[in-house]
Amino acid sequence: MERGLQRELRREIEEETLRTGTHSVYGDRKPAPRKPGKAEKKKEQQEERRRAKKKKKANRQYVFVTYFFVLLFVGMIGYFSYFNVVQGREIINDSRNPRMDLYENQVLRGSILDKDGNVLAESVENEDGTQTRTYPYEELFAHVVGYSDKGKTGLESSQNFQLQTSNVSFRTKLLNEFRGRKSAGNNITTTLDTDLQQAAYDALGNNRGAVVAIEPSTGKILAMVSKPSYNPNTIVEDWESLNANTEGILVNRATQGQYAPGSTFKVVTTLAYMRQNANYQDYTYRCTGEITAGKNEIHCFGNDVHGTVDLADSLAYSCNTSFSNIGLSLDIDEFRNTAEDLLFDSELPCPLVYNESKFNLQDDDGDAAIAMTAFGQGKLQVSPYHMALITSAIANNGILMQPYLVDQITSAEGETVEKYVPESYKELMTSEEAAQLTEYMQGVVEYGTARSLNSLGVSIAGKTGTSEYSDDKEKTHSWFIGFSNVDNPDLALAVVIENSDSTGDVATDVAGDVFEAFYAE
């Protein structure tokens, strides 16, 4: 009985131990773990998810910070690479860059040469370490070559990077350092033809104006003259008087001059009419010498009466009333598109500083503005350089080649640093359109307003122009655009003469002298 009571007591103690989790008096044996309930499981799962979410959020922040610094580093590398590789030349060419003085202290500025190697600009090192820049041809190349004192202009500006970069051998640089001499900068060989430049300069005489000559098949700029000119050798001494001068001597009229194109723009209007009228060859108009457009009476030059004319005759005789009639028939948006195709209101491919040409005809402009624009007046503004580009494209089957002035860059030791290869810039018109315009422009020379060029012994396609620039109709600019050797064009020209004697003959005569000099070489 006593043993039975002991067993009963022992069982009760063990049950109490299991229920309360206390140790048994009979040893340290742990009770079996209690299984968690559903509520506890849910709570543990929620806690686990919370910890995972917190960890994921922390990881996201670390990733964001990592990517931010990686992108910042890559961006800085990209910026410095772009700055040095892409913008390096632009920065060093900027006359406001104070580090230019450092380059000038280290490098003897390179020379600028014409296409045959004649020196157009060179520097001589003085005993005190300074250098003197000289221009052997004085006024002849003033605007296109420019000057390097009082800032920089022309090629002196656009090629500043190369002129102040020395690519002589390491040995030569080392010897120059040892001797206390400057290493010579790179030399620039241009496309400029000194004989042709001289012919254009002489042909302009005492007139204010500009001449631009381009080789259509390559884009080489062979001559670029602007008058009045100045002597870059004395730019420092003459600086105040040059700036006080009201004739704009320092302005390169070839690229920066803005003029109404006069009747040379009729080539553009002709192209617009051809594009909008498939039957353009059937065009006829009876010229009575005047036409009414809005409230304006428009007359042919010299009050000429041309009678019945077709499109070819209209261009050959430069009939203002016929082109007014053509302009009034055009869709203005399409007219503008044609002008923009020919780079009006657009950037121009130009190696020098230039001004954009403006079409300036709006949809709400009246009939008078439309008619005047059609024959080259109105609010049109264009540079001689731009008209030379259009002429060059017509001569080259509608393709404008990238115009350029720098043929090659060489080190002072004669090693080639860069060599320019001609390349196409843009198709301004189709070859069929160019061929038709060429035929019409030949008529201008054969029986139209530029008949005086027939005596040169070479085929020429051209267009004369006279543009008014004030209320006084006697004050005009004289224009000529054209190209020679029509079957295989050699030379495209644009000529403008300011304040001429109310005819296009002055510019035509200048063009004739330039063409003649070109074929006399």
d(CA 184, CA 519): 37
Which domains does the chain show, CATH number per domain? 103-190 (3.90.1310.10), 197-405+421-520 (3.40.710.10)
Instruction: Just list the catalytic residues.
Output: 263
Residues (pLDDT < 50) of the chain are 24-27
d(CA 154, CA 142): 8
Question: pTM for the complete prediction?
Answer: 0.82
d(CA 431, CA 396): 8
d(CA 419, CA 416): 7
d(CA 265, CA 168): 49
> Can you name the residues that pair with 409 across neighbouring β-strands?
188, 418
- Exposure of 357 in the CB half-sphere (CA atoms within 13 A): 29
- Sign of the torsion angle spanned by Cα atoms 144, 505, 461, 320: positive
- Exposure of 386 in the CB half-sphere (CA atoms within 13 A): 31
The predicted-structure confidence for 50-108, as pLDDT tens digits, reads as follows 776 666 666 666 666 676 777 777 777 766 566 555 565 555 555 556 565 566 678 99
Give residue 479's pLDDT. Answer: 96
Measured CA to CA in angstroms, residue 259 lies from 171, 274, 468 at distances of 53, 25, 9
d(CA 39, CA 444): 103
d(CA 121, CA 136): 7
Mean pLDDT (the chain, rounded): 88
